Structure 1
Amino acid sequence: MTTTTTGAASAALLQVRDLTVTFATPRGPLDAVRSLDLDLEPGGALGIVGESGSGKSMTSLAIMGLQPRAARRTGSVKLRGQELVGMSEADLRRVRGDRIAMVFQDPLSSLNPYYTVGLQIEEAYRAHRPGVTRREARTVAIAALERVHIRDSARRVHHYPHQFSGGMRQRVMIAMALSTEPELLIADEPTTALDVTVQAQILDLLQEIRRETGTGLVLITHDLAVVSEITDHIVVMKDGVCVERGAVEQIFTSPQHPYTQALLDAVPRIDDEIGELRAVAPGSAVVPENAPTNGGAA
Structure 2
Amino acid sequence: MTGENVNDTTGDMLRVEDLSVEFRTANGVTRVVDSIDFAVPRGGALGIVGESGSGKSMTSLAIMGLLPKGGTATGSIRFDGKDLLSERESAMRRIRGDRIAMIFQDPLSSLNPYYTVGVQIAEAYRSHRSGVSARAAKKVAVEAMDRVHIHDAARRADHYPHQFSGGMRQRIMIAMALSMEPDLIIADEPTTALDVTVQAQILALLAEIRRDTGAGLILITHDLAVVSEVADRIVVMRGGHLVEKGSVEDVFSDPQHEYTRRLLDAVPRIDDEIGELRTTAIPVVAEEEKR
TM-score normalised by structure 1 residue count? 0.88
Counterpart in the other structure of 1:131? 131
Counterpart in the other structure of 1:268? 268
Alpha-carbon distance in 2 for matches of 1:59, 1:78: 13
Q: Please give the residue correspondences for 1:199-210 in structure 2 after superposition, counting only pairs within 5 Å.
A: 199-210=199-210
Alpha carbon RMSD of aligned pairs, Å? Answer: 1.5
Displacement after TM superposition at 1:272 (Å): 1.1
Counterpart in the other structure of 1:293? none
Q: Is the 8 A contact 2:10 2:41 kept in 1?
A: no
Q: Please give the residue correspondences for 1:102-141 in structure 2 after superposition, counting only pairs within 5 Å.
A: 102-141=102-141
Counterpart in the other structure of 1:227? 227
Displacement after TM superposition at 1:30 (Å): 1.4
Question: Match of 2:108, as an amino acid?
Answer: L
Alpha-carbon distance in 2 for matches of 1:256, 1:112: 44
Q: Which runs of 5+ in 2 are unaligned?
A: 1-6, 277-291
Counterpart in the other structure of 2:101? 101
Counterparts in 2 of 1:152 and 1:68: CA distance versus 1, 3 Å:
same
Secondary structure at the aligned position of 2:119 is classed as: helix
Alpha-carbon distance in 2 for matches of 1:26, 1:176: 38
Please identify, of 75-84 and 10-19, the stretch whose mean Cα deviation from structure 2 is larger: 10-19
Question: Match of 1:61, as an amino acid?
Answer: L
Q: Which runs of 5+ in 1 are unaligned?
A: 1-6, 277-298
Question: Match of 1:148, as an amino acid?
Answer: V
CA deviation digits over 1:39-84, x for unaligned, max 9? 0111000000000000000000001010112011111111111111
Alpha-carbon distance in 1 for matches of 2:8, 2:228: 25
Alpha-carbon distance in 2 for matches of 1:268, 1:141: 39
Question: Match of 1:174, as an amino acid?
Answer: I
Counterpart in the other structure of 2:29? 29
Q: Does 1:39 align with 2:39?
A: yes
Q: Please give the residue correspondences for 1:11-22 in structure 2 after superposition, counting only pairs within 5 Å.
A: 11-22=11-22
Alpha-carbon distance in 2 for matches of 1:9, 1:256: 31
Counterparts in 2 of 1:211 and 1:10: CA distance versus 1, 3 Å:
closer
Q: Is the 8 A contact 2:112 2:161 kept in 1?
A: yes
Give identity over the alignment, percent: 67
Q: Is the 8 A contact 1:34 1:240 kept in 2?
A: yes
Counterpart in the other structure of 1:4? none
Question: Match of 1:74, as an amino acid?
Answer: T
Q: Does 1:151 align with 2:133?
A: no
Secondary structure at the aligned position of 1:13 is classed as: strand
Displacement after TM superposition at 1:275 (Å): 4.9
Displacement after TM superposition at 1:10 (Å): 8.9
Counterparts in 2 of 1:161 and 1:9: CA distance versus 1, 3 Å:
closer
CA deviation digits over 1:258-292, x for unaligned, max 9? 1001111111111012458xxxxxxxxxxxxxxxx
TM-score normalised by structure 2 residue count? 0.90
Alpha-carbon distance in 2 for matches of 1:8, 1:16: 18
Q: Is the 8 A contact 1:46 1:232 kept in 2?
A: yes
CA deviation digits over 1:90-139, x for unaligned, max 9? 11100000000000110000000000000000000000000000111011
| Higher Cα Rg, which structure | 1
Secondary structure at the aligned position of 1:199 is classed as: helix
Counterpart in the other structure of 1:177? 177
Q: Does 1:246 align with 2:246?
A: yes
Alpha-carbon distance in 2 for matches of 1:9, 1:241: 30
Question: Match of 2:46, as an amino acid?
Answer: L
Alpha-carbon distance in 1 for matches of 2:140, 2:162: 22
- Aligned residue pairs total 270
Q: Is the 8 A contact 1:46 1:234 kept in 2?
A: yes
Q: Please give the residue correspondences for 1:181-192 in structure 2 after superposition, counting only pairs within 5 Å.
A: 181-192=181-192
Q: Is the 8 A contact 1:54 1:238 kept in 2?
A: yes
Alpha-carbon distance in 1 for matches of 2:80, 2:86: 16
Q: Is the 8 A contact 2:9 2:42 kept in 1?
A: no
Q: Is the 8 A contact 1:10 1:81 kept in 2?
A: no
Displacement after TM superposition at 1:25 (Å): 3.1
CA deviation digits over 1:132-187, x for unaligned, max 9? 00111011001000100001001001000011000000000000011010000000
Q: Is the 8 A contact 1:236 1:244 kept in 2?
A: yes
Counterpart in the other structure of 2:48? 48
Secondary structure at the aligned position of 2:86 is classed as: coil
Q: Please give the residue correspondences for 1:209-220 in structure 2 after superposition, counting only pairs within 5 Å.
A: 209-220=209-220
